């Protein structure tokens, strides 16, 4: 590939000494499990009182929702267009995901369609800040307050994004982060975290991930094993120092893409007052599969996020949804293409992608 989709090798090369030193420090100390240092740094960065490191982003979602008390018989409202992990987190508590179509401009859950999905069983809204753009948190928080619902933010794609000056992850009762290697802030393996302001909730989540225990061999309930390991925490501490600069580069790359492509395809639109951190740069074209082939033939990676909206994915067939209930999510599923996006793209890389897409579009 001439232009990679993400380029973890280039990123590592740029921070190699710092990362190697941090990992060596963990090896010397043998503090392999838990890394409280990173948790506090990340809580400070996001602007919450607490951060609990867990094994991955899917666990972050499941554990936060379980500790908020959701379970069988409860309905949790989430977006039709997201990675399956959002809905898995809901499902693993025993609750049922209720899908709502997305907004055609931001691709985030459409606040105008949320209230129609609320029933007496609804307990929470689980917005996803998809592709790095915060969902309409003012509208969502107002709906939640009106109907007495909790809010759990899926921040797996939105590290450092802001909505009207406030970081994504500071609005809801809990915010769930993934540090999967390809995310904007990625570990060197699986990792995740829950940020929140409620100390009781933070304690409960930490206990759930440590076998229901916070005192050795006193197990207050049956938990699981889901913790942030020391090496991942050390890597994340180093990378957190670079995150804002990498986000700035992503934003600049997105601006260059949009300038070069806005007359030949639908480019991403950023809502007013939002810092969109472009985990993904997603365009819409009519002959998507041909474009992807053309890009591949020219050494340019691309992807689809996501090819099948969750309500019509086999895992959720049992819920009985039909594609025509989700005209926006299902309508765009055949048109979306994600172009290469990471903090180490050069202007030449971006221009090559633009040129290739433009040639195709003509
Ligand atoms: C990546 C992702 C997750 C899951 O994170 P993992 O660390 O891979 O378990 C959840 N939600 C969204 C929107 C994601 O993109």
The half-sphere exposure of 238 on its side-chain side, counting CA atoms within 13 A, is: 23
Q: Is the CB of 82 under 6 A from ligand 1?
A: yes
Task: Measure 185 CA to ligand 1 centroid, in angstroms.
Answer: 12
The pLDDT-based confidence of 36 (bands split at 50, 70, 90) is: confident
Q: Is the CB of 85 under 6 A from ligand 1?
A: yes
- Over residues 287-319, the pLDDT tens digits come to 999 999 999 999 999 999 999 999 999 999 999
Cβ within 8 Å of residue 52, ≥6 positions away: 39, 193, 194, 196, 202, 205, 206, 209
Mutate to test the pocket of ligand 1, among 55, 60, 80, 85 (most ligand atoms within 8 A of CB): 85
Cβ within 8 Å of residue 165, ≥6 positions away: 273
Radius of gyration over alpha carbons of the chain, in Å?
Answer: 20
Q: Is the CB of 108 under 6 A from ligand 1?
A: no
Atom of ligand 1 nearest to the CA of 85: 10
Task: Measure 200 CA to ligand 1 centroid, in angstroms.
Answer: 25
Q: Whose CA is nearest to atom 14 of ligand 1?
A: 156
Cα gap 111→61, rounded to integer Å:
21
| Sheet containing strand 162-163, strands side by side | 166-167, 162-163, 274-275
Cα gap 122→225, rounded to integer Å:
29
Atom of ligand 1 nearest to the CA of 130: 13
Mean pLDDT of 260-280: 97
- Please state, for a pLDDT cut of 90, what percent of the chain lies above it: 97
- Over residues 314-333, the pLDDT tens digits come to 999 999 999 999 999 999 99
Atom of ligand 1 nearest to the CA of 56: 7
- Over residues 177-234, the pLDDT tens digits come to 999 999 999 999 999 999 999 999 999 999 999 999 999 999 999 999 999 999 999 9
Cα gap 332→284, rounded to integer Å:
7
Atom of ligand 1 nearest to the CA of 180: 7
Cα gap 75→54, rounded to integer Å:
24
pLDDT at 34 over 80: no
């Amino acid at each position: 590939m001439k232009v990679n989709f993400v380029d973890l090798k280039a990123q590592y090369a740029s921070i190699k000494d710092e990362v190697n030193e941090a990992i060596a420090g963990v090896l010397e100390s043998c503090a392999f499990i838990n890394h409280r240092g990173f948790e506090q740094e990340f809580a400070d960065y996001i602007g919450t009182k607490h951060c609990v490191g867990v094994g991955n982003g899917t666990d972050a979602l499941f554990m936060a929702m379980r500790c908020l008390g959701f379970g069988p018989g409860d309905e949790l409202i989430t977006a039709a267009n997201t990675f399956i992990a959002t809905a898995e987190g809901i499902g693993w508590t025993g609750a049922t995901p209720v899908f709502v179509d997305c907004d055609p401009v931001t691709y985030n859950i459409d606040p105008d369609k949320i209230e129609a999905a609320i029933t007496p069983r609804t307990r929470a809204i689980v917005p996803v800040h998809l592709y790095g753009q915060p969902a309409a948190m003012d509208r969502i928080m107002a709906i939640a307050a009106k109907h007495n619902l909790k809010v759990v933010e899926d921040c797996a794609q939105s590290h450092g994004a802001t909505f009207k000056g406030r970081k994504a992850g500071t609005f809801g009762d809990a915010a769930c982060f993934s540090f999967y290697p390809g995310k904007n802030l990625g570990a060197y393996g699986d990792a995740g975290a829950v940020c929140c302001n409620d100390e009781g909730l933070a304690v409960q989540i930490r206990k759930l991930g440590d076998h229901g225990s916070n005192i050795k061999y006193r197990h207050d309930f049956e938990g699981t094993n889901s913790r942030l390991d020391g090496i991942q925490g050390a890597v994340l501490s180093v990378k957190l120092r670079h995150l804002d600069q990498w986000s700035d580069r992503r934003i600049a790359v997105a601006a260059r893409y949009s300038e070069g492509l806005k007359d030949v395809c639908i480019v991403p639109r950023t809502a007013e007052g939002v810092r969109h951190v472009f985990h993904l740069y997603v365009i819409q074209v009519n002959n998507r599969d041909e474009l992807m082939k053309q890009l591949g033939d020219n050494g340019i990676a691309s992807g689809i996020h996501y090819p099948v909206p969750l309500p019509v994915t086999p895992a959720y067939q049992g819920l009985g949804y039909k594609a025509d209930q989700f005209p926006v999510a299902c309508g765009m599923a055949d048109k979306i293409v994600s172009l290469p996006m990471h903090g180490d793209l050069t202007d030449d890389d971006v221009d090559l992608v633009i040129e290739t897409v433009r040639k195709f579009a003509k």
